[in-house]
Amino acid sequence: MPLHVLVSEEEAALIREKMLQAGTTNFSLYARKMLVDGYIIKRDFEELKLLTKELSNLARNINQIALRANETRNIYEQDIKDLQAYYYNVKRAVTERLVKMIEE
């Protein structure tokens, strides 16, 4: 039973390159092998999206403090300490998640 797949020029070039890496020039054999035995890697980036949101919050806090400092020419030491603590918590969470992803 014939199956047909349309690909772009770039995709065709990538397929040819991968065929060469696999040591074959027979597209039919390569396609059957990949379609039957190939696998899909699906990553869940939800946690990274949440971390990105935290980074956005951090940036917003920095901007608010900078705005206040520019307006009043004052900056509160506690604001700096809070910001540093928030930054290190986000950095730790990002590092832990990246290490976990690498180990998977």
Is pLDDT above 70 for 40? no
What sections of 23-76 are H helices per DSSP? 27-37, 46-72
**Inter-residue contact 86 to 61 (CB < 8 Å):** yes
- Kindly report, residue by residue over 48-97, the tens digit of the pLDDT: 788 888 888 888 888 888 888 888 888 788 888 888 888 888 888 888 88
Give yes or no for a contact between 66 and 75, defined as CB atoms under 8 angstroms apart: no
Percent of the chain with pLDDT over 90: 18
Q: What is the spatial distance between Cα 85 and Cα 81, in angstroms, rounded to a whole number? A: 6
Phi/psi at 76 (nearest 5 deg)?
-90, 135
Residue ranges covered by each domain of the chain: 1-39, 46-103
Greater model confidence, 41 or 36? 36
pTM for this structure?
A: 0.46
